[in-house]
Amino acid sequence: MAQLNTKIKLYAKANGVNSIDFLSEVKLQDDSNGQGAYIKEWNLDIPQPTSEQLATYEDEANAEEALNTVYSNRRSEYPNHNDCIHALLDGGDTLTDLQAKRQATKLKFPKT
């Protein structure tokens, strides 16, 4: 099941709001009581969505989160910033090897 924040982002984007600050504009709360997260405070200009409206974004949100997982996995195995800078400065085989590692990571965590 997709997370509430993902579905709200998609709902907001569909209503003309491309980014949300979840520390002020929309505040979500999870009381860790098994009921899951809920909207505690809604400060966007667009109407607060109903549960039914958010449910329509379930599939799209799952796909978004899967993609985010891919990106997260890739970030965890990509060469770090220092290695990248050295490769760019050194060029040659160092850069070629780094590019090969990045490509291997992408293949390990494909988007689809």
Stretch that binds another protein, among 11-19, 28-36, 56-64, 92-100 (CB under 8 A): 28-36
CB of 72 to another protein, least distance (A): 2
Tell whether residue 48 is a contact of another protein (CB under 8 A): no
How do beta strands 26-30 and 37-42 pair? antiparallel
Q: Residues 63 to 82: which contact another protein by CB under 8 A?
A: 68-69, 71-73, 75-78, 80
CB atoms within 10 A of CB 68: 12
Long-range contact pairs involving 84-93 (C-beta distance under 8 Å, separation at least 24): none
Classify 34 in phi/psi space as left (phi over 0), alpha (psi -120 to 50) or beta.
Answer: left
CB distance 87 to 111 below 8 Å: no
Find the binder of another protein among 18, 32, 50, 112 (CB under 8 A): 32
Task: Pick out residues in 80-109 that bind another protein (CB under 8 A).
Answer: 80
Q: Which residues contact another protein (rule: CB under 8 A)?
A: 3-6, 20, 22-23, 27-33, 37, 40, 68-69, 71-73, 75-78, 80
